[in-house]
Structure 1
Amino acid sequence: MEQHQYINSDQSVFGDAYSMMRLNKNILLKGPTGSGKTKLAETLSEKVNIPMHQVNCSVDLDAESLLGFKTIQTNADGNQEIVFIDGPVIQAMKEGHILYIDEINMAKPETLPILNGVLDYRRSLTNPYTGEVIKAKPGFNVIAAINEGYVGTLPMNEALKNRFVVIQVDYIDGEILKRVIKEQSLLDDEQLISKIIAFNEDLRTMSKQGQISEEAASIRALIDLSDLSTVMPIERAVKRAIIDKLEDEREQQAIINAIELNF
């Protein structure tokens, strides 16, 4: 399947991320939901041709989700033995792969110090479940993403933040957004694309003012909307791709008003 590349009018975003990676720096991508942080990490992974292991943080994230867990397996002799199944952090370290930690500020602060040695010059970890000391193979890199001011996020621990270099990833708009829609969706009607971009500007403004959630104005939602608009009227496409995901009636009404203004 063809992979879509990360696109941004600010060429330095990708260029700097690539340079930082080659210096083996831990990269923290900072920006709103749906601004393309995961796409940027995936494109970096392709560019350096190193696979990526992903951790999605939440308040339920624990050491097992990061490092792995013990389980009972039956061996070739038919006997049962306790084995350790490596989690994404240990897999990435052992293979010399990229570790991508999404929404790192959604995790409980007490869960992440386990990664301190992984994220500093030592690039090593003592597995608390087995006692094994794991040193990362060359090629191992860490990219994390953070949504600032998002519901449920916590301020990032300073000791952790100090282990990263930061890249601000902002929303794309205008001609660049038009290019993304044309390359990543099925829609090629120039006039409709222009209207969708203007509609998205209104959504962004409402999102900045706190009238609607960031997710409603994300690139992901926009690609879905563009695809759906090729098979149904635009008003219904917006309803299916954006409005029906929202719980709050005021948010839904704000978007219905924006549809009437733009289409």
Structure 2
Amino acid sequence: MMKYDLPGKVKEQLELKRRTDPGSFEYLIRPGGYVPPHMDLLADAIIALSMGKNILLKGPTGAGKTKFAETLSHLFRQPMFSVNCSVDLDAESLMGFKTLAYEGDKQVIDFVPGPVTNAMKDGSFLYIDEINMAKPETLPLINGVLDYRRTITNPFTNEIITANEGFGVIAAINVGYIGTVPLNEALKNRFIVIEVPYIEGEQLKKLIQDTTSLTDERTIDLFVRLSGDLITAVEQGKLPEEAASIRALLDACDLSGFIQPKRAILRAIVDKLEEEREREFVKNLAETLF
């Protein structure tokens, strides 16, 4: 399994953590980047990737898994190619496809590389989003990409591709959603799993301040409280996970810079829910706070 060099600043902080365990990598993260609830999450992801291991970010929707992957890409100074999984994902979506092209007046068959091919040849990160949305028979195609071989035979060109130095794989998974399937053991065992919980409290407040148009501190504090109440309701089984999506909350905060918070919550959170009981629950929370 190939290993990768970290940028110097990241190396220094990892070494400092090994010696003193300061518990913070926050200064490494650019504004708007993912700041995890526990800095060990970031440290463990950095260490695993630097050792050449694949990581699987596991957590509820809107918890920041994609932002986490983007932050890791930034820290490693690595571009990132993405695969968005669905039941329609096929070999062409992963590897690329053949198409007709012209060389002068002559018509030829050309191959347009897909994200797996590009990431391997470029020595970049590959991000596989919602990996458990793909059909079980599709993903075994890349088993060799995910283990020590880092190699695949392109089924469309018969080219044997071995990943260049710097290639790494980050995947994300939402558990228990309609349309998802359990990962088979052969696939799961190729990953280091990192649980990504919701961001709460002061970290959520800072994220709202850094990434949305909302500036009123009192309103921001109320949105932080609303998020905590929504998370509690999800944990108690009163609401589905999407009701506590941090992504949706940030959208509501953004809108609240220009319209009333209750209306912003209606547009960004309430109207996404399927059941009237769930919608009324969130509207009551918003009414109580705002």
TM-score range, shorter chain: over 0.9
Query: Quick check: 1:160 aligned with 2:187?
Result: yes
Q: Paired residues, what number?
A: 261
TM-score w.r.t. length of structure 2: 0.87
Question: 1:95: how far off?
Answer: 0.5
Letter in 2 for 1:159: A
Q: Name the counterpart of 2:249.
A: 222
Q: Name the counterpart of 2:38.
A: 10
CA distance in 2, matches of 1:153, 1:220: 20
Q: Give the match's secondary structure for 1:122.
A: coil
Kindly provide the CA deviation profile for residues 177-211 of structure 1, in whole angstroms up to 9, marking residues without a partner as x: 11111111121222111111111122122223443
Query: Quick check: 1:204 aligned with 2:231?
Result: yes
Q: 2:94 aligns with which of 55, 63, 66?
A: 66
Query: Quick check: 1:256 aligned with 2:283?
Result: yes
Question: 1:151: how far off?
Answer: 2.2
TM-score w.r.t. length of structure 1: 0.95
Q: Name the counterpart of 1:180.
A: 207
Q: 1:24 aligns with which of 52, 66, 71?
A: 52
Letter in 1 for 2:213: L
Conserved? CA contact 2:37–2:197, under 8 Å: no
CA distance in 1, matches of 2:58, 2:271: 28
Question: 1:91: how far off?
Answer: 0.5
Q: Give the match's secondary structure for 2:194.
A: strand
Question: 1:78: how far off?
Answer: 1.3
Q: Name the counterpart of 2:174.
A: 147
Question: 1:121: how far off?
Answer: 0.6
Task: Report sequence identity in percent.
Answer: 57
Q: Give the match's secondary structure for 1:116.
A: helix
Question: 1:60: how far off?
Answer: 1.0
Question: 1:18: how far off?
Answer: 0.9
Q: Give the match's secondary structure for 2:34.
A: coil
Give the unaligned 5+ runs of structure 2. 1-29
Summarize the Cα distance change of 1:111–1:3 in structure 2 as closer, same or farther, 3 Å threshold: farther
CA distance in 2, matches of 1:175, 1:65: 40
CA distance in 1, matches of 2:140, 2:281: 42
Summarize the Cα distance change of 1:3–1:51 in structure 2 as closer, same or farther, 3 Å threshold: farther
Give the unaligned 5+ runs of structure 1. none
Question: 1:3: how far off?
Answer: 6.0
CA distance in 2, matches of 1:126, 1:186: 48
Kindly provide the CA deviation profile for residues 221-260 of structure 1, in whole angstroms up to 9, marking residues without a partner as x: 1111111111111111111111222333222212111112
Q: 2:151 aligns with which of 109, 124, 149?
A: 124
CA distance in 1, matches of 2:284, 2:141: 48
Q: 2:76 aligns with which of 40, 48, 69?
A: 48
Conserved? CA contact 2:102–2:108, under 8 Å: yes
CA distance in 1, matches of 2:215, 2:38: 24
Q: Give the match's secondary structure for 1:105.
A: helix
Query: Quick check: 1:231 aligned with 2:258?
Result: yes
Question: 1:32: how far off?
Answer: 0.7
Q: Name the counterpart of 2:64.
A: 36
Q: 1:170 aligns with which of 173, 192, 197?
A: 197
CA distance in 2, matches of 1:113, 1:23: 23
